[in-house]
Structure 1
Amino acid sequence: MTTSNCLVRFFLFDNFQVLNMYHNSSHKTFWIFDNEDALEKLRCEANTKCYNKLSTSGKESMLLGRYEEQVLFRYYEKRLLDFCNAFKPTMPKAVVGTAIMFFRRFYLNNSLMEYHPRIIMLTCAYLSCKVDEFNVSSTQFVGNLLQETPAGQERVLEQILEFELLLIQQLNFHLVVHTPYRPMEGLLIDIKTRYPPLENPESLRKSADDFLTRANTTDAGLLFAPSQIALIAILNSASRAGLNMDSYLSECMGMKDNREYIVKLNESMRRMKKLIKDYELPKAEEVSAYKEKLERVHLEFNTSTNKRKRGYEEDGHVAKIQCRTEDEVSNRSLNTRTSATGFSSGRNTLR
């Protein structure tokens, strides 16, 4: 057996193991949903629950509605992507994908009015480094907050550590995230070996990578299996290049007699493309207005909500005093080197 064939057999076996792990994972069991409506229902419930809790003060006009939260969620998700993609040392794509998925999972059941996304996004990135064994120290991590002083970085780190257990709890301790990057590598290797009609499979990589980057900013990871996302990324890349992969699906992947799966795959591709097409970065004027409301909400209700969770003394409970509120994390904290997310942006100054 040639070295090439041995390598292929290894990667196919490795991909089979990954697929088997996914099908028995908490990711598939608890964090894959039937449709977008199911996700929107959870987010609306989280917003309504927090809204009702805070509206007893008679200050309903200052609270955020569901649309306003969605605008700010996309804004802070973009900031999280910019931070991760400009991270030094370079953060692996799978770690970035895990951080984004933590962020999306957290705000399925929580409101931005209750937990400020500025600190949650950093905590998601920090936790993803641990979970995916990306070996950076805590000092290295906050060192990427380029415009913070060393003292400021230390204060931010303390706040991240205060929120870390809360994040883990809100994720129901389901910390393993299966991203589509590893399945995509396996597919490319398989195509190179078993699909001679395609002379240069590597030509599909860039467009497929771009597809996965854009899919990261949608709910695709909450709706589709990672192997399915990877396959659709490859097929989309081939389609854009004018290549027909039908024979690969039918012959190499054994779908020749599985018409039902082909139909489902095409439907999934249609839905995923629509998610990506419909995604829009929020308008700057909306972000500015809604951020002001969010800061006012946290300033107004910070003394009466979640004190114990945030490290305050409350009702005789002595805890470490929170050294900094969310709105005190410098707006310059995430001023990163460049944006590598595929979106146009200037310097990444988080407000």
Structure 2
Amino acid sequence: MFRTTTHYKYWIFDDEDELYRRRQEANHRFIRDNITLINVKPDEVPKHFLTMAEEVALVNYYLSLLRDFCRRFNPPIPKYVTSTSIQYFKRFYLNNSVMEHHPKHLIVTCVYLAAKIEEFNVTMDQFVKNVKGDREKAAEIVLNNELLLLHKINYQLIIWHPYRSIEGFLIDIKTRCKSSSSNQDPERYRQHIDTFIDQCFLTDAFFLLCPNQLALLAIIYAADKFGESMDEYLQILFGDNSSNEIAFLHKWMISML
């Protein structure tokens, strides 16, 4: 079913080269459109504009602020809302420059839109109570940027998360690996699973891997923290193709951590 969604069709990419190209295009497009406005010579561009690498660093910085905002939110925000808001934020800046749209304004807009899409009912008054500073201005920022955000992510609002797959894999492990000396209580893995998913938010993993792949990687990572191997379960899961799948998953886990 996932392969029929807009998430898969438009937001899962074959490799990091495509992500690099999109970010580079957004950076170059802003510089091209604005270089004449401030009368900058081509050799002076680095002094007046951000590089793509600097833009990525800024996006990651504000991404950490978005996560902190969600953690402090009252009433507590479900992890689905946090995950959706993060992915809206990352999608927005995959094709747009921070020099054109300030990330500070997109943080609150992404969280507010994610809350609506994930049916986390919170009024605007309740929402802005979580914002430091001028709450009236915060509400205005959200409302002014909501349509912009919708347009820039092409109104593709449904996000598929790894959480449901994680629950399914944990149930499957309990059922299929009862006789195994390890993995007898995969519930122990939950803290490390959450840590892994949190770390993935700071990478491009959500652009490159499907949610079920991320879920399985999180479980492998958590098992490894207990000195346990998931290879037995992976062999059951993938059958004759298990060696290739195990190599693929281990390669990704090493590259991400």
TM-score by length of 1: 0.68
How far residue 192 of structure 1 moved from its aligned partner, in angstroms, is 2.1
Q: Label 1:41 to 1:210 Cα distance change in 2 as closer, same or farther (>3 A).
A: same
Residue 46 of structure 1 pairs with residue 26 of structure 2: yes
Residue 167 of structure 1 pairs with residue 152 of structure 2: no
**What residue in structure 1 maps to residue 173 of structure 2?**
191
Decide which of 106, 130, 133 is 1:120's aligned counterpart: 106
Q: Structure 2 unaligned runs (5+)?
A: none
SS for the counterpart of 2:59 is: helix
Q: Label 1:58 to 1:272 Cα distance change in 2 as closer, same or farther (>3 A).
A: farther
Q: Which amino acid aligns with 1:258?
A: N
**What residue in structure 2 maps to residue 270 of structure 1?**
251
Q: Which amino acid aligns with 1:58?
A: N
**What residue in structure 2 maps to residue 214 of structure 1?**
199
How far residue 265 of structure 1 moved from its aligned partner, in angstroms, is 4.8
Q: Which amino acid aligns with 2:241?
A: N
Runs of 4+ in 1 over 3 A off after TM superposition: none
How far residue 199 of structure 1 moved from its aligned partner, in angstroms, is 2.0
**What residue in structure 2 maps to residue 134 of structure 1?**
120
**8 Å CA contact 2:234, 2:246 repeated in 1:** no
Residue 228 of structure 1 pairs with residue 213 of structure 2: yes
Q: CA RMSD in A?
A: 1.4
Distance 2:65 2:11 in 1: 23
Q: Label 1:86 to 1:266 Cα distance change in 2 as closer, same or farther (>3 A).
A: farther
Q: Structure 1 unaligned runs (5+)?
A: 1-19, 278-351
Residue 180 of structure 1 pairs with residue 165 of structure 2: no
How far residue 205 of structure 1 moved from its aligned partner, in angstroms, is 1.1
Distance 1:268 1:106 in 2: 28
SS for the counterpart of 2:240 is: coil
Decide which of 22, 34, 54 is 2:14's aligned counterpart: 34
**What residue in structure 1 maps to residue 185 of structure 2?**
200
Map Cα deviations across residues 70-106 of structure 1 (whole Å, 9 max, x no partner).
2211111111111111111111111111111101100
TM-score by length of 2: 0.92
SS for the counterpart of 2:35 is: helix
Distance 2:229 2:253 in 1: 19
SS for the counterpart of 2:239 is: coil
Higher relative contact order (CA 8 A, sep 6+): 1
How far residue 267 of structure 1 moved from its aligned partner, in angstroms, is 2.4
Residue 157 of structure 1 pairs with residue 139 of structure 2: yes
If each structure's helix is expressed as a fraction of its own residues, which one has the higher value?
2
How far residue 227 of structure 1 moved from its aligned partner, in angstroms, is 0.6
Distance 1:171 1:108 in 2: 10
**8 Å CA contact 1:31, 1:222 repeated in 2:** yes
Tell me how many residue pairs correspond in the alignment: 248
Q: Which amino acid aligns with 2:141?
A: Q
Residue 100 of structure 1 pairs with residue 86 of structure 2: yes
SS for the counterpart of 1:107 is: helix
